[in-house]
Amino acid sequence: MNAIALNAVGFRYDVNWVLKDISCCIAKGEFVGILGPNGSGKTTLLKILDGMLKPQEGRVFMDGKPIASIRRNDLAKTVAVVSQDFRMTFPFTVREVVLMGRSPHLAKWRFEGETDLRIAERAMELTDTMSFAARSMEQLSGGERQRVFIARALAQEPQILLLDEPTAFLDIKHQIDFFDLVKSLNLKNHLTIVAVTHDVNLASLYCDRLILLRGGRMHIEGHPDEVITEANIAEVYQVTVGVDRSPVTNRPRITPCIGADPKNRSL
Amino acid sequence: MLKLPLLLAVLFLPLLLLSRSRKDPRPVTPARVIRVVFFLLAVIICVSLLGLFSGASAMDPLDTLRRLLAGTDDSRAWLNSSDGIILFSIRLPRILFAGIVGGSLAAAGVVFQGLLRNPLADPYILGISSGSAVGALCALLLGVGSSLGVSGLAFLGALLTVFLVYGIARTQSELHSTTLLLAGVIVNAFFGAVIMFLIATAGDRQLHNAMFWLMGDLSLAQWREIGLAGGFLVAGGGLILLHGRALNLLSVSEETAHQLGVAVERTKMLLLLCASLITGVAVSTSGIIGFAGLIVPHMMRLVVGADHRLLLPAAVLFGAAFMIVADTFARTLLSPAELPVGVITALCGAPFFIYLLRRRG
């Protein structure tokens, strides 16, 4: 069964279609990357999947059910989101933030019970955030904060995890740590992952399948080998790159050709 | 005069006790909320008793108690004596009203800061203060709508302003925090000009009353206003408390709240309306008491943490105690003359806030 199915989805904020004719299926347990230049509709697509935006055209199915028929609260039990790192205005502690993930499972006036505490602790153990559970969020580094946000997402006990450029502000070590963690959750817990990213090489390393968007339409989808080609990247991103294979992982990787002359491949 | 330092001690020292229990890493539980509530209720009772027996005419608490318990006829006679009238018809309602106003401002401050994710937000940020001031000044200076009275017109002004600001900020189905803030600033500025105009054209005799109202004055409260403001505080505060977890999520970000299953727009409207009504009702009788609604939420956040399910009740109760103490100062510092209570809230609130900030950093 598909975790997510999109059928000819179109979305517009005003008159111009931001997304048009998007049809694809994402199987349970898949790790899918969404690539595309700025303004190609990646984040809009993710916001449709988490129910924030309602498409004017086409249908979206989560777990076989039309997303429009799923109550907001129930959708939050299935789909969790980790976005770009951001600072909080108020001094919540790490444990409080992780426990927020239990919110969709609780009635409005209910406090978190023993079960919720246990689930939150397990999420913190999985993400290695237990050691600073009592600390305030503002005392953490960007990498630590993102791990806390994954822990919160796990506390939701979702089947689908949506990532919106989650490593945008992280250094290379924390980028790798982050995606290693997500990949292990994907393999061990059979979490379906949909990740929007600007980092083509990172996506190539971790994703089973890539969807390349261009101007709100699907340019191509498939295995990284099919998607990451010189022709596709040149067409979609308007840059000239060289594509070879990583000697470590045998996945395709891109190297931008810099300099005024696009034919200059000397680098 | 010895009473005043004692009052300050009774108000602030318990905070140190509470803040030590903040080290407790466990999350907020109903039991902890109840503990904090009873603790702060005790503080309120202490400062109220101290306030009741401070003032221009000195009374001995023990003597008063003896007279009250002496026997029905005797104590009824005493209640009608000047001392009895001062205690139970002048000071007691004023203390109750101070508590209600303090609690209302603190509750609204918590909600506005959380919803707008802005630490500088206070109950007046959406123009409620200037709107009700225009209403009150119309009554005080121009004698408009005398049947409604000063507070009636002030409440009307507050209500109209709130709807005006929401109307300006609302686009289709969404209400953006930044737009809301800007609309509040603009409306505040416009009504500020109207206030200046009214004051500039007013006669000298009316000016004193107007200035007192503008700086906050708790002496106007009658039992009717106390009941009204108290009712709004209990109902509105209860409704806000019921949405405490949603307010937590909204204070992180609206996207977070949405992703965790909160009906963002509906909850936001409900909370804003509750906070606005609470503020409007309180302000319409008390005038514009600055600072309490800004500072009390911050103090409590430093002491009990950011979880609104604990923060809101703590802020309401401490706001009440804070205002009772501030009003006692305002009544007694230059007695028999009176200061506007707003002067006191700013004078004693700011240094303590700085202390809390420094201690934490």
Measured distance CA(A223)–CA(B176) in Å, rounded: 41
What's the mean pLDDT when you consider all of chain A? 91
Model confidence over A15-45: pLDDT tens digits?
899 999 999 999 999 999 999 999 899 999 9
Question: Torsion angle, CA of B148/B153/B154/B156, rounded to 10 degrees?
Answer: 110
Q: How far, in Å, CA of A26 to CA of A19, rounded?
A: 18
CB B217 within 8 A of CB B287: yes
Chain A nearest-CA residue for B31:
A111
CB contact under 8 A, A108 and B260: no
Is A193 inside a domain boundary? yes
Strand A2-12 and strand A17-27: the pairing is: antiparallel
Q: Which domains are delineated in chain B?
A: 3-20+29-360 (1.10.3470.10)
pLDDT tens per residue across all 361 residues of chain B: 567 888 888 888 888 888 766 555 678 889 999 999 999 999 999 999 999 888 777 777 777 777 777 766 777 777 778 888 888 888 999 999 999 999 999 999 999 999 999 888 888 888 888 898 898 888 888 777 666 788 888 888 988 998 899 888 887 667 788 888 899 999 999 999 999 998 888 877 778 888 888 888 888 788 888 999 999 999 999 999 999 999 999 999 999 999 999 999 899 999 999 999 999 999 888 888 888 898 899 989 888 989 999 999 999 999 999 999 999 999 888 877 888 888 888 887 778 767 766 765 4
- All residues of chain B having their beta carbon less than 8 Å from the beta carbon of residue A97 are 252
Q: What is the pLDDT of residue B80?
A: 77
CA distance A24 to chain B (A): 23
Among A95, A106, A112, beta carbon nearest to B25? A95
* Per-residue model confidence (pLDDT) at position A203: 94
Q: pTM of the full predicted structure?
A: 0.90
List the structure tokens of B324. Answer: 């009772």
Residue A267, domain member (yes or no): no
Residue positions counted in chain B:
361
* Interface membership of A76 toward B (CB under 8 Å): yes
Instruction: Give the pLDDT score at A267.
Output: 46
Query: Is A262 inside any structural domain?
Result: no
CATH of the domain at A247: 3.40.50.300
Predicted confidence at residue B87, as pLDDT, reads 83
pLDDT of res. B355: 73
- How many angstroms separate the CA of residue A19 from the nearest CA in chain B? 21
Please tell me which residue of chain B has the smallest CA distance to A106: B245
Q: Which residues in chain B touch residue A52, judged by CB atoms under 8 angstroms apart?
A: 255, 258-259
Task: Provide the chain A residues 106-165 that lie in CB contact (below 8 A) with chain B.
Answer: 106, 108-109, 111-112, 117, 133-134, 156
Question: Phi and psi at residue B82, in whole multiples of 5°?
Answer: -65, -40
Interface test with chain A among B173, B260, B265, B304, by most A beta carbons within 10 Å: B260
Calculate how close chain B gets to A8, using CA atoms only, in Å: 24
Q: Is the pLDDT of residue A186 over 70?
A: yes
Give the pLDDT score at B360. Answer: 55
Domains identified in chain A, total number: 1
Q: What is the pLDDT of residue A12?
A: 92
Q: How far is CA A32 from CA A65, A182, A192, B35, B342, in A?
A: 20, 12, 8, 49, 59
Q: Is the sign of the CA dihedral B75, B79, B81, B82 positive or negative?
A: positive
Query: Is A264 a member of any domain?
Result: no
Residue from B296, B350, B335 nearest B102 by CA: B296
- As a whole-number percent, the residues of chain A with pLDDT over 70 amount to 97
Q: Which among A50, A101, A109 has the least Cβ separation from residue B242?
A: A109
ipTM: 0.89
Residue A48 near residue A9, CB atoms below 8 Å: yes
CB contacts under 8 A, A 10-39 vs B, are none
Q: Give the C-alpha separation, A254 to B330, whole Å.
A: 72
Contact B348, B329 (CB under 8 A): yes
- Give the domain extent around A144: 2-256
Tokens of A71: 């109550």
Q: Does A104 touch chain B (CB under 8 A)?
A: yes
- Separation of alpha carbons A73 and B261, rounded Å: 4
Specify if A263 maps to a domain. no
